[in-house]
Structure 1
């Protein structure tokens, strides 16, 4: 295989560190494995109708031009997110005969495809025209198969994987001192966009209910982008002095916050896979998460603790249980190690390459 063009509507920059970082990580892993990878990506996270139209037109045009110039060089394109990225892969296939793969991440199927009949039809066309579909979790794969009438053998379940050379265990006391965090409090950590779908409101409500019952000081750290100003404003009644907000961080810095925390919490309303929960486990940090989507298969065999989504009371009870239970009892390290072995980035990269090989003629040249 000569060259792969990775197309993504999310890709990080120095100004927007977490915006599609998982795509950048996979690109780096594929390159490290010896593949020649080029990218055509949108790095602008701006929201709003006018901003979205402008940035996508610019990204779409530059991607099509790159496809035109490289039409004889690219053996395949790999789109991250069925829509809109998959549309550009589909156009390049129609225009220049370049076959494509698509990775569904969850929001593209759960939310985007439901926005309008037109987007749903486009989503269906992209899925059917692709050479192969990668779903980041088994629940998502089943949904694609059933909702869009896709043959089971055309779908592979492959997560984005965790780099266990970056996300490692650390000495909590040492890391807290470096981050200027007090040694006494039990620290809960959330990492992700501060938006309604991530369950941040329920997390804050649950934390406020729980802190009055805890027999030791507790704190909540929320790391992530706060671009939805209206939503952030709506959270103010639930924010107290024990809650700290931190802007997005480089992964080498983020890992220290995992190491410094006692429990990671991901109370999402929907989640295709939940890579950030896997990153927490890799740092030896216990996880509490919603019983939704890919989190069920990731944590359901004992690797984490699942609670009903959108239920602040149930979440509060689990937060309190975490505070009152010794870590050795609260964390099932055997189950965690099994999950980490399956989703190690090196294994995931090898699986991706095998999918390329099996679906593209001449792939044995990889």
Structure 2
């Protein structure tokens, strides 16, 4: 094939390391697998109506300029997030007959499409005109199939994949020592944006109900939602809760390796790739029974709790103080399925079928 134009409304920079890092990872994996890519991405996480309009206008010009400059070399576009990214792919197909693949990540279907009838309409158009739709989790795929009438032949369930060269088993004691983590305590880890939908308030509440002196909690993620971050920090009464800003993935892997338990108490989640990254580092997972997580952690691959339920979360965390009973065979099967190399092989097949 010629080149794939990757369109995404999230892409990381040195200043914003976690902002759509999974898209960057997949682009690198595609390049390593022999697929040439061009980028037309928004790497500005600024919020607020004025900022959003400004950054999206700049991004739109970038998408169109990149396409016009390279249109003879482009065989397809791949949009990450149905809306707004998919609008560009939809336009380029209508205007220039360029086929496209779109990946739904969860928030675009469960949250964005519900913001207005207009966005719902755009979402429907983008999905129905796509040559192939990828959903990162099973529940998301079911929603797309049922609510948007997308036939199974045009729909694949496929995560963004985990790089098992980075997220791998490590020497727990050595990592704890290097990172200054107290090996006498049970160390809980959360990785994700510090926002309401990630269940951070419930996590703080549940952690502080544990017996004093038994555990530490590390929360790694962007605190860009200043008002919510202030609310969360007002809940904190324990000196054993630490907030850490996002970091490069190789450094993040060391925290996964040092942690005793990973906790992801989200309200909604397309898949929950960070849970797989934790498992790949040998760290057991407690997570909400939502979205892709409830499929991923079924059959004992992890511990599932109801969302928005601090008491149930606390109970699971108390259980973890004495060790969790995890189905290691199921975990290994998941890691093979979601290995980035296997994901890229499947993606190459999809590209070959639509170009």
TM-score (norm. length: structure 2): 0.98
3-state DSSP of counterpart to 1:70: helix
Aligned partners of 2:101 and 2:174: how far apart in 1?
44
Stretches of structure 2 lacking an aligned partner (at least 5 in a row): none
Measured on the aligned residues, the alpha-carbon RMSD in Å equals 1.0
Aligned partners of 2:63 and 2:331: how far apart in 1?
40
- Report how far residue 26 of structure 1 moved: 0.5
Q: Does 1:226 align with 2:223?
A: yes
- Report how far residue 323 of structure 1 moved: 0.5
- Report how far residue 330 of structure 1 moved: 2.3
Which stretch shows the higher mean deviation, 307-316 or 173-182?
A: 173-182
For these two proteins, the number of residue pairs brought into alignment is 354
Give the corresponding residue for 2:325: 330
- Report how far residue 184 of structure 1 moved: 1.2
Give the corresponding residue for 2:351: 356
Q: Does 1:88 align with 2:98?
A: no
- Pick aligned residue for 2:300 from 285, 299, 302: 302
Give the corresponding residue for 1:147: 147
- Report how far residue 324 of structure 1 moved: 1.7
- Map 1:103-122 to 2 at 5 A: 103-122=103-122
Give the corresponding residue for 1:280: 278
1:226-245 deviation per Cα after TM superposition (whole angstroms, max 9, x unaligned): 01111011113321211000
- Report how far residue 73 of structure 1 moved: 1.2
Aligned partners of 1:17 and 1:203: how far apart in 2?
24
- Pick aligned residue for 1:341 from 311, 329, 336: 336
Give the corresponding residue for 2:316: 318
Aligned partners of 1:234 and 1:181: how far apart in 2?
26
3-state DSSP of counterpart to 1:227: coil
- Report how far residue 217 of structure 1 moved: 2.3
- Pick aligned residue for 2:234 from 234, 237, 241: 237
Stretches of structure 1 lacking an aligned partner (at least 5 in a row): 361-366
1:288-309 deviation per Cα after TM superposition (whole angstroms, max 9, x unaligned): 0000000011111221110000
Give the corresponding residue for 2:21: 21
Contact 2:168 2:280 in 1 (8 A): yes
Aligned partners of 1:71 and 1:167: how far apart in 2?
37
Aligned partners of 2:231 and 2:108: how far apart in 1?
26
1:332-356 deviation per Cα after TM superposition (whole angstroms, max 9, x unaligned): 2111101101111111000101111
- Report how far residue 95 of structure 1 moved: 2.2
Contact 1:71 1:96 in 2 (8 A): no
Contact 2:99 2:354 in 1 (8 A): no
Aligned partners of 1:293 and 1:259: how far apart in 2?
25
Give the corresponding residue for 2:209: 209
Contact 1:289 1:307 in 2 (8 A): yes
3-state DSSP of counterpart to 1:134: strand
Contact 1:203 1:315 in 2 (8 A): yes
Aligned partners of 2:211 and 2:154: how far apart in 1?
48
Contact 1:208 1:238 in 2 (8 A): no
The 4+ residue runs of structure 1 with deviation greater than 6 A are none
Contact 1:137 1:158 in 2 (8 A): yes
3-state DSSP of counterpart to 1:358: helix
Contact 1:265 1:287 in 2 (8 A): yes
Give the corresponding residue for 1:363: none
Aligned partners of 1:7 and 1:206: how far apart in 2?
39
Contact 2:204 2:235 in 1 (8 A): yes
Aligned partners of 1:82 and 1:11: how far apart in 2?
15
